[in-house]
Structure 1
Amino acid sequence: MRNDNPYHYQSSATQKTQKAPKKRKPGCLVFLLVILILVGLGYVFLTLKPSGARQGKSVTGPWIYGELSDEQHIAIEQLSKQSARNLDLQEKGGTIRALLLNVDMGYANDPERQVQAFMQEYQNLYQINDFSKEFRLTDYQIDDDNSVVLKYSQWVDSIPVYSSQLLVDLDRLGNIRLVSGGYLPEKDLYYDPNITYSKTEIKNVLNDQGYAVISSDESIELVLYNAIVLGHEKGETTLAWTMEVVFEGEPFHAVVSAKTAEVFILAREIIFYNYNLYDAEKYPILNLKGESEEIVDECHIFWQWIKPIYALNEKYETDYVNKINYLITIIDRTLSIYENHLGWKGYNNHDHHFEVLINVDAGSPFHWYRCVSVLIGFNDDASIYSAEDIFPHEFQHAVTSQRVILEQSAETAEAGALNEAYSDIFTALIDTENPWQLTQGQVLIRDMENPSKVKGHPSHYKDFRKPTKKNDFCHENSTIISHAAYLIAEGGKKQGIHVDGLGIGDMTKIFFNSQNHLRVNANFFQARAAVITACEYYYPDDTARCDSVHNAFAIVGIGDPVPQPSLWDEVIEILNSLQDSIVDARVKLMLDLFKKLTELNIQIDDFFLRMEQDLVNLMVELALKMATAFLESLFSSIFDQVCGSYLFALVLPGTAFFLIRKYSSRI
């Protein structure tokens, strides 16, 4: 007869009794698992350290743009350990163009010694053997926040290196935060000391080529010229003359080879002196005080460069006063915003005056001229009625010229584009209706929000238009930088990169202050470093907002975006934000843990003692029942089955009792 009950015991002579498999007590396994989890959490808390982001460092390591030598890489590794922030570096032509860092060399109270110590310690990085011998301090600025900017120029054999400058920015604590510059590394210092053309001879040669040299012999200077200093990959160091010339009716700053008479650079320069509103035909016009005055021409060279046209006739007579009043309104608004918003008086921060001309026939809406009186010129009514764009643009050129030299030439194409970009950016403060579009009359000439709306104006560095001898494309290429400024102000998302807008007000303050951190003829990467530095000063307690600056420049192809943290990084960052309380809680947590374990052990012991007593009572009860059942079934025909069942019942609790006693003694 088959029995389908798996728990039914069968007695048979040919069947061996099967032992029940041993089982581990679930309580012990759970207990061990809890112990392991608690130990693991304790290890995490005990070994938790601040993340790189908390220390101001990126987990990706230094950001390096360019190619470094093995010697420079070793220096960078050393500097990375010393810097309190992640390094951000650009190299070009073997020179370090821009370096963001945070380093204290032990002379925080002495900026000059701090810089000297840094350049000596990291001479292999900059490839400068004797900084104190080659570089001279030319400017020492202390800002309102007690940060300091030092500017050095390079000299070799008592000859200045053209356009050379190392700008070092130190924060209010004396830490070096930015080093930006253009200079000659040791390998490029060698040159031929012989010259072919003297000052007089070079002037004669240039006159024969159509250049009118207007500099006196005393103001013509001998320099060392190398295109590497200006940001080029390659160049040859040679002697050259610098002077002012007029070419094809326009004034330029020129750099001319002293050996071959080749013109290396023709750069436009901007210089301001006086202030008033004049007509190009020298008719009396209302000045900014509403007074009429007779005009005395102080700008003699000016009349050689442009031809004034007659505009005061019956056709313009009715509209004349309105036209002038509108222009005066724009001038007054611009000066007021610069003073109240940017803290800058006039064009040179000393409330000096400049001159504005209308009705000038010079081929473009605005012109600047180097002479006794330097002027802003409007050539027609359309340009005057676009004064909310044109005037602040040209006025910022004057301001920029007082703060940093950014020459407009084929050799300094990025510097020239920066000059134009800065001027465009500040029109957003004046033209409140269309802050990101510049117009002349009804014609859109540049669009900072969407540069491609105007043909030939790029929005990305990869589309930078290479300059030619006839065109440096400074206006076209400026939209790369001004588009980054638009993104910083308004925010947006492109190429998967997100920018949180800071607003026009904060953006313009940051860009304005960034000129304090710009070197002579800076390139786009150096401008990026200057804007980031200015942003970190503007938000000293919330530098994370400057991620918008990093990301905006990354969108236009200048540098990389800030790495986005992973979920685990965010968890660690949250834990790090609680680190102070965690430090105090670690000991308390471990003490509580051991206390709970002790209590748990006592409870387990009590549990097994109670279980032992209960099992004894159960055994007695079962024994009595078994005896009773045995007597009742003594003469039953199924004696063997009943006996077997009670034997099984007797063995099971005995086995359980033995196992419990055995394992309880180990806990």
Structure 2
Amino acid sequence: MYEPVRKQKDILDKLKNVDVNVDIKWDEHTGIPLRVKGLLAKAEKKDPGMAAIEFMEVNKDLYLLNSVNKEMLVKRIDTDRIGARHVRMQQVYKELPVFGSEIIVHIDADDNIKGTTGKLTPEIDLPDKAKVTGEEALKTVLEDDKNNSRGKLHAEPTLMVLSQFVKEPHLVWHVTVDGIDKDLGGDETPAKWEYFVDALNGKVVWKYNNEQGHTRTTGSGIGTYAGSVTINTLHDHGTAKYLLEDQWVPSSARVITHDANGGYPPAPVSEDNNNNWSASGQGPDVDCHLYTRMVYDYYFTVHGRDSYDDAGADMHIYANCGSGWNNATWNGSYVKIGNGDGSRYNSLCALDIIAHEWTHAVTEHTAGLVYSNESGALNESMSDVFGALISGNWLIGEEPWLPTTAPALRNMEDPTNGGQYDPANPIDSSRAGHQPDHTGDQYTGYSDNGGVHINSGIMNKAAYLIATGGTHRGIRICEGLGRDVLGLIYYQALTTHLVSSSDFSDMRDAVLDSLDDLYSSNPHYSRWRASIINAFAAVGIGTAVTCPFTCWIAPMICPPSPHVLCPPAPGFVCPPAPYICPPAPDFVCPPSPMIVCPPSPYIACPPSPGLSCLPGPDPLPYDPYIRVKNPVITLKTDIIEIVGIGRETATLFKGSSISTLGDFLKATENSKKIAELSETLGISETRIHDWRKKTLVMLGEIK
């Protein structure tokens, strides 16, 4: 039995002067109380955290502490159902957390300190500087078990002290990864491994499987629209139920689908007995779950965005909301999807609608477009644009839409559906699936928050024209930019140029500025810029311009066409009028090797035979994609390749001798370095953490 030392006896005598029945249970190994119970002191209506700190400071000798202010931090304060407060305190050593070393100070509803429970570590004497980097510790973990190489890094390696669960304290890196373990039956089961790697010698000190009652699984299901699919689920060992929770996302984010069952949130997570989600009524749950993950993947892989807040927020979506509810909404915290009334809509858990709602969340966390008048219509249009890009066509809500008045809830290619929009009756027109496609027909009333769903058709038409080209209201779009480029430019506009009060005219400027940001050196730039200007002019915003001419044929050689015979000789020159070169795509390439004739739409002919063609050849096709993962990415790759970091910020890092991905990982290997870098460069720690996570994804170290 442990015998307290003199200074502990002195404190104990003082406590017993207040309550003679004070009871103490000692830790035989450390000599620190595991549990103290009795009326120990009066908190005197003070802040519970402050009261706990003062109590521990007065009685620090009992707990073998030197300075409570330096060795203890208030972690959280919990209040139970009878009004008692429980102040949980974390032990620290030279500002590093001591894993598993905590103590709880219990304060009752009358502000009496009634006891403490917990475990602390006395007299820690360790270096507080690591000799092994966090990156090296992670490598050790991934090499410890071949299955860990396929695991997911749950958090950045954290430097701390490990004293509980081992014989003596160690300075360690704490690393959490997914891997494989054996269950009681000897079968393989997914594991969430908590590793502790000695930060001085790089050896694994301790590890344990922290998969607590849930196992990541994959199930099968039949969606209302998705059909037969495989979905990521979770098995709850406690209830033997399967849950619609996707923890396979390449970050800390999760996709969690709830079943509102005809009601509204709060509602439980959707569950199933056998992980075969094909029962009656489960179709909307399957669609909502699968499609939300598809939305996450689009924003992450194309734009480098980690969930709607770009910080790995969980994505909660509620299926089966309301009784005959014909709507879907983002409320600032989660998405709600109705099942429709069977007359105007079936289940609204369609991919484009779900992408639409989650884009509202992205908009809230970026431009914050006010949901009223033109800024609100622009907000709605942004959601339609990304809904269309993710779903793959220009119709919004065509799957749940039941009326025969229009092909879908909204038609971005032709918002008026052949001129059916009636400016004199905008509300009924909008309900029938028709919208204006020009500011000349813009709704200016007070209904619909100033026409946010009505006037979004104007911006939708502009986006469609930018992507596809064509002619609208007599204005020609020089060259369609394509869906991929449209997505990159619109995301740039949404995240870096638009503000909460931006209107249609501001959107035009934002798109042009975004083109400058991303494609100013691209050979298509001049025509793309004119195309954007003309697309907005075609819907009534700004004035159209003449399309620039481009001709990549050898000098003085007229691009051949059905009107000009293709000679075999290289010396052929353009004939005099009336043999004027027609516009692309009527060109037919000649056999002569002296003539370079690229495919349309990259060619436009000179307007008369008096103008010579520009020298060729045609530029190589431009790859519009920005990818997070690249098979040739290495530690020596330039830091500019990190999605979202931008040229200016990359230059800022390079000014601090951080030029490559390897430099960046080394400079951000622990929280302290990140904080120092944040202060030096004036960049938030959150952004630096985010870029580090993306870097690890690029290098394939986070799956």
TM-score tier by shorter-chain length is 0.3 to 0.5
Higher relative contact order (CA 8 A, sep 6+): 1
More helix by share: 1
* TM-score in terms of structure 2 length: 0.36
